[in-house]
Amino acid sequence: MDAPVRRVGVIGTGAMGGGVVQSLVRAGFVTLARDIRAEAQDSVNWSAYIKQNEAGHRDTIPQNAYQGWKQFELNCSRCHGEYGVGTTFAPSLIVSLKDGGTVPDQTAFITVVCQGRPDKGMPAWCQLGLEMDKIQNIYAYLKLRADGKVAAGRPAAKADG
């Protein structure tokens, strides 16, 4: 794979630089790129990958909690981390919502989300237009996470009915 480096001087004309692509093909760059891609494809054990994905377990949660997961990932995860695990500048909500945590129940959660914590950089989400049903759904998802009923990762939604 240690092919010699070829330097090509290309003077193009026209909107696309005239002979740029043709010069690259002649210089072997397209062939080299194709060879690298083929080697990468060959090095992947696709049957193991497919088997792993098929065997991958996704927790199935109620529709409201699934909608809460989507809203959390959209609005909250950039500060509180994916799946509520926290970051260097925002707390782990799965710890805060555990029994004995700093957010003891849904009412306290809604209060914090609606009022925000401006002194810590958290916006008042109700003033920004986040609807109450979405906040309640976020709580439903995070409470399942805090209680250990849902693992980190993308959950699946239970079918209605």
Strand partners, 60: 156
Report whether pLDDT(122) > 80: yes
Q: For residues 20, 26, 29 and 35, what is the CA-based torsion angle, rounded to 10 degrees?
A: 140
- Mapped onto helix, strand or coil, the DSSP state of residue 10 is coil
- Other C-beta atoms within 10 Å of 104: how many? 13
Q: Is the model's pTM score more than 0.85?
A: no
Rg (CA), the chain: 25
Domains of the chain: 1-56 (no CATH), 60-157 (1.10.760.10)
Q: Residue 48: its pLDDT value, please? A: 66
Contacts of 28 (CB under 8 A, 6+ apart): 3, 6
Question: What are the DSSP calls for 101-115, one per residue?
Answer: SSS-SHHHHHHHHHH
> What would the pLDDT profile of 76-93 be if each residue is shown by its tens digit?
999 999 999 999 999 999
Q: Residue 8: its pLDDT value, please? A: 47
Q: Round to whole Å and give the CA distance between 146 and 85.
A: 10
Query: Which of 15 and 44 is assigned the larger pLDDT?
Result: 44
Q: What is the DSSP letter of 74?
A: H
> What would the pLDDT profile of 45-86 be if each residue is shown by its tens digit?
767 666 655 555 678 999 999 999 999 999 999 999 999 999
Count of positions (residues) in the chain: 161
